[in-house]
Structure 1
Amino acid sequence: MNDKSDTQQQQDWLWLAIIAGLGFALRVAAMAYFQHVPESDELVYRSMALNLLGGHGIVDSMGNHAMYNAGYSLFILAPVFFLFGEDLLAVRLVNMFLGVVAIILCYLLAKEAGAGRLGRLIAALAWALYLPNAIYGMYLAK
């Protein structure tokens, strides 16, 4: 019985890897075909990260200290800008990686919620193929 369970678990992880690969491919396609220039809130988050790196604290482009959520600027943009400079491609690649992590987390969340094998895989597949999610990875926003 244990061998059957191990085999099924390996198959689940193989399917999950395939689903994550599909999600990754969709995000690559979005990056290749969706041309986007940061605007609006994206510029605020960018400004917050750059001000933090410049030693000015988490200040947005309008001089506010606490109007926008600082999490994305603090934990994603600032480290990426620190390591790679103000490179939009680097941020988008990190967003793409986080998108793939989210696919795996959808599977694990469905598993924790008690979904069966098919339910777990469908949860991951639904998030992997949800087009707005793939396109949103192009944005500098939370």
Structure 2
Amino acid sequence: MHALVELVARWRNEGLDLAEPVSAAQVQAVFSKLGATATPDVLAMYAAIGGMHEMDRELWCLWPLELIERENVDSSPDGVLFADYMINCWCYRLKNNGDGTSAVWVDPPDGSSSVPVARTLAEFFELYKTDATQLLDPAASQ
């Protein structure tokens, strides 16, 4: 996930308060509590960045594990909430693809069903790096 490495560098340059990377065991423990399995790409993401303690300039926030635990009150077949845009206006979910990767879905602010925004985390971060608008407000990019 080369795009994630570039984004982490950008966020550091912006002076964001980033959480320290976390171990695969810590990530798996949280996902297991939620009835989910963290795929290798999710483990790699949290090995690179433990989340954010504040939004970036796009108003997006990757949640630290403790926030994932707090926000995912119940396990869901729709995936694990892991990020938000504009203080929970849109929340993002990780859905296990069954092939060692996770797709990224977004919960719209109107309460309608989740919609896919990226087939994999790698694709999500590549799109985010290129044009965050298409991920942060899917309706705006249609």
Query: Hey, which of these two has a bigger chunk of strand by percent?
Result: 2
Q: TM-score when scaled to structure 1?
A: 0.24
Ranked by relative contact order (alpha carbons within 8 Å, sequence separation 6 or more), the top structure is 1
Greater radius of gyration (CA): 1
Q: TM-score when scaled to structure 2?
A: 0.24
Query: Hey, which of these two has a bigger chunk of helix by percent?
Result: 1
